Amino acid sequence: MAIKSTIFKAELALADMTRGLYRDFSLTLARHPSETDERMMVRLLAFALHAGDSLSFGRGLSTEDEPDLWERDLTGSVVRWIDVGLPDERDVRKALGRANEVDVYAYGGRAVDLWWGKARAKLETQPRLAVMQLPLDSTRALAQLASRSMKLTCSIDEGSVMLADSASAVSIELVPLKPRSGAS
């Protein structure tokens, strides 16, 4: 019998000064048995960075050809494809064929440098792709915020993010490895 995903609930109070978005979200996150709290919280962070009515979580690690998060328009076309971690560059290029914009939130310390060193030549020319690196100490601190029932506040302002619960706060400085350079 397969082990089922663990369900996490998050009440997220978002204040995104960059986009002028101030809203509360009630989220349900399914953490795959092989997924870490760190990865799940990076997915939650990616949601906060792109929050909107049409943004939703993908079905998870066990589902190939589906992102961690995606935004679809009313016709079902994929507007934005979001992956976290260190996706294979072929998968990123395939996502660019399916979505108007692709965002990758890479984390993992030195592994990010190695991944980007291999993938950079093939990905840096993609105008609809943005790749951001998350510092290892920040993502590990995010993992400490994980609980089955979370009440979080998130403030975003020009690449700086503060995610907090009632006991602690995590400051995250997004490091652009490759900014998006084209229109969608």
Could you tell me the residue ranges of all domains in the chain? 6-178
User: pLDDT at position 4, please?
Assistant: 84
**Residue tagged 């980007």 (tokens):** 116
Between 49 and 181, name the one with better pLDDT: 49
pLDDT digits (tens, 9 = 90+) for 123-158: 999 999 999 999 999 999 999 999 999 999 999 998
pLDDT digits (tens, 9 = 90+) for 27-47: 999 998 889 999 999 999 999
Which amino acid belongs to residue 8? F
Distance CA 16, CA 161 (A): 9
- In this structure, CATH architecture of domain 6-178: Roll (3.10)
pLDDT digits (tens, 9 = 90+) for 84-106: 999 999 999 999 999 999 999 99
